[in-house]
Amino acid sequence: MKTLYLVRHAKAGWSADAASDFERTLSERGITEAHFMARLVHERDPRPDMLVTSPAVRALTTAETFAGVFDIPPESIIQNMEIYHGGASELLDIVRSLPDDAGSVMLFGHNPVMSELANRLGDMKGEAMETCSVVRLDFQSNRWSEAGPGKGLMVWHEHPEKRHTR
């Protein structure tokens, strides 16, 4: 079995230092939510084998926050520019090319593509992923290359605001 966690980056803002969309940083709320969600996932599930992220500052910072909570060295995070530029089909290609020795992978990216991928793989019934949402999808295959539309079972979908309203 393979487990894929799709993580939409935490809440970002526009700082005076951000010269472009790529350089946008997490807001204070985003930093708080990233820590909250990382701890929530850590309490619920085992440490992922691999973290793969868009290199955009807001996604990379979210991935680094999760890595810190899971005690994963930040230098082991894999950055892939295609996550920033690509659509759901390109992200599915990334998933299909993951090494089979990784049983669980967290993929950090951006909307609307992350929501599209989650809906394509695990039928979220058109749900959108809020900032810092995490979706867990399980695949019955032992090979990432077999991941595809409708082949993922959505085990859970959590986001900070949903957790705070319970």
Which segments are annotated as binding site for substrate? 58
* Residues sharing a CB contact under 8 Å with residue 39, sequence separation 6 or more, in sequence order: 69
Binding-site residues? 58
Start-to-end C-alpha separation, the chain: 31
Query: How many Å apart are CA 53 and CA 10, to the nearest integer?
Result: 13
